[in-house]
Chains A and B, each alone.
Chain A
Amino acid sequence: MSERVLIEGSEAMARAAVAAGCRFFAGYPMTPFTELLEHMAGLLPEVDGVCMNAESELEAVGMAWGAATTGHLAATGSTGQGLSLMQESLSEITNARLPLVVFNMARGQGDYFQATRGGGHGDYRHIVLAPMDVPEAVELTQLAFDMAGQWRTPVMVLGDYYLAHTYQAVSVPSFDTAAPEVPNWALDGSTGGSGAAKIVSPLGGGVEGEEGFDLGAHYAACAAHIQAMATGVEPLIDAGFCEDAELVVAAYGSVGKFVRYACLRLRDAGHRVGYIRPITLWPFPSEAVHKAASGSAKAAVYEQNMGQMVDDVRLATMGTVPVEFIGGPSWDHSGFGIGPDINVPDISERILETMP
Chain B
Amino acid sequence: MNSPLAGERELMLTGIGGQGVQLAAQVIAQGAIADGKEVLVFGSYGGMMRGGNTDSTVVISDQPIEAPPVLSATWSAILMHHQYWAPLRVLISDGGLVLVNTSVFEDQLDRDRYRVVEVPATDVATDLGNPLLAAMVMAGVYGRTSGLVSLDGLVEGMRRSVPPYRSQLIEANEAALAKGWEMAA
Interfacial residues, chain A to chain B (CB-CB below 8 A): 4-6, 133-135, 162, 165-169, 254, 257-258, 260-261, 264-265, 267-268, 334, 336, 338, 342-345
Chain A positions within 8 Å of B39 at CB level: 6, 167-169
- Alpha-carbon gap, A93 to B4, bound state (A): 43
- Cβ of B72 and Cβ of A166 under 8 Å apart? no
Q: Mark B33-76, 1 if CB is under 8 A from A, else 0.
A: 10001111111010000000000000000001111111110000
Q: Which of B37, B65, B66, B69 has the most CB of A within 10 A?
A: B69
Within 8 A of A (CB), among B86-125: none
Q: Given A165-B42, A166-B42 in contact, is the A258-B66 Cβ separation under 8 Å?
A: no
Contact of B68 among A4, A6, A162 (CB under 8 A): A162
Total interface residues on B, using CB and 8 Å? 25
Chain B positions within 8 Å of A4 at CB level: 33
Chain B binding site: helix, strand, loop or mixed by DSSP?
Answer: loop
- Alpha-carbon gap, A5 to B38, bound state (A): 10
The answer, yes or no, to whether B5 is at the interface (CB within 8 Å) is: yes
Chain B positions within 8 Å of A135 at CB level: 64
CB distance from A166 to the nearest CB of B (A): 4
Chain B positions within 8 Å of A265 at CB level: 5
- Cβ of B42 and Cβ of A264 under 8 Å apart? no
The answer, yes or no, to whether B133 is at the interface (CB within 8 Å) is: no
- Alpha-carbon gap, A15 to B185, bound state (A): 41
- Alpha-carbon gap, A167 to B25, bound state (A): 11
- Cβ of A264 and Cβ of B72 under 8 Å apart? no
The answer, yes or no, to whether B167 is at the interface (CB within 8 Å) is: no
CB distance from A104 to the nearest CB of B (A): 19
Q: Which of B41, B67, B68, B70 has the most CB of A within 10 A?
A: B68
New A-B pairs, 11, CB < 8 Å, besides A165-B43, A166-B41, A169-B40: A5-B33, A162-B42, A162-B68, A167-B40, A168-B65, A169-B29, A258-B70, A268-B5, A344-B68, A344-B71, A345-B72
The answer, yes or no, to whether B173 is at the interface (CB within 8 Å) is: no
- Cβ of B66 and Cβ of A6 under 8 Å apart? no
Contact of B70 among A6, A167, A342 (CB under 8 A): A342
Contact of B42 among A5, A167, A268 (CB under 8 A): A167
